[in-house]
Amino acid sequence: MRHPVFLALCLGGAVALAGCQKSSESEVNRAMKSVNVIDESNLNDIMLTVGDPNEAVAYFRKTAAENPERIDLKRGLAKSYIRAKRPQEAASVWAEVVAHPEATNEDRVEFSDALIRSNEWKRAEAELHKVPPTYETFLRYRLEAMIADSNKDWKKADSFYEIAAGMTTTPAGVLNNWGYSKLTRGDFKGAEKLFSDALTYDPQLFTAKNNLVLSRGAQRNYSLPVVAMTQPERAQLLHTMALSAIKQGDVQIGKGLLREAIDTNPQYFEEAERALAALDANVTN
């Protein structure tokens, strides 16, 4: 008489065991899926920062094609194209991103950046105009400053450069751009100050050093600024200063600076040698 009860208990135990097993498998699958998402997220971050840019492009292109609904992978592909110095392809992908229902203001600003890198200034300006003024970021203001520069709207450019410089702890690049803007306008003293300010934040920024020499040379100040420089950098800056002097008609000073550049450079300085030879040939003729 006890057999049916025992059988029912056994069957009940088997069903419970099977239920536990299924539940356990489901939990394992969920856990594995979470681990895979974490692993993929880490891999995406690596590809966007320290990975080889062209490898990153290949990775995100393949992964985005396999998951066309995922906007994050398209963002990764666009950013990878920028790192690989392929801005036109980046702009094409950003265009797809901003058309997505989940697109953000940040996406549109990044799209504008890619367009500027592709020399499509008017399209970049049009895209930035679609971003509400309440969206305030360093990149947005840096791009606004560059566009104002391209339109020769100096008052607006200065305002945007100043805002952008105040929104980052590493303003050397934007200060250098602002200084170059002043240099092109003929405000050499203003440019000199901005290049000097840029070098206080990044003493290794050679572009700012070279621009600083140009701004001093434009004022007929042919002494090198007191900034940190290597011997090859000193030679290159002397060469820049020499060309600035020659351009303004101070040929003898320029020749002296070229000779100093040749003597300073630890290796053969072909550009300076060629410039000096051309000057000597003109004098002879």
pLDDT for position 47 = 76
Closest C-alpha among 98, 194, 209, 99 to residue 145: 194
| Distance (Å, whole) CA 239 – CA 210 | 10
- With tokens 């360093």, the residue in question is 138
Query: Nearest Cα to 182, choosing from 217, 208, 154, 207?
Result: 154
How far is residue 58's CA from residue 62's CA, in Å, rounded to a whole number? 6
Q: Looking at residue 5, what is its pLDDT?
A: 44
Half-sphere exposure in the Cβ direction for 252 (13 Å, CA): 0
Element of type H or E holding 107? helix 105-117
pLDDT attached to residue 14: 43
Which residues of the chain fall short of a pLDDT of 70?
A: 1-41, 50, 283-285
The C-alpha atoms of residue 99 and residue 90 are separated, in whole angstroms, by: 14
pLDDT (tens digit per residue) in 34-64: 434 435 657 777 777 767 889 999 999 999 9
Contacts of 168 (CB under 8 A, 6+ apart): 138, 174
Domains belonging to the chain, first-starting first, are 46-134 (1.25.40.10), 136-223 (1.25.40.10), 229-285 (no CATH)
Question: What are the contacts of 93-99 at 24+ separation with CB within 8 A?
Answer: 97/71, 98/127
Residue that is written with structure tokens 């002397």 in the block:
238
pTM of the full predicted structure? Answer: 0.79
pLDDT of amino acid 9 = 39
pLDDT at 262: 93
Instruction: Classify the phi-psi angles of 166: left when phi > 0, otherwise alpha if psi is within -120 to 50, otherwise beta.
Output: alpha
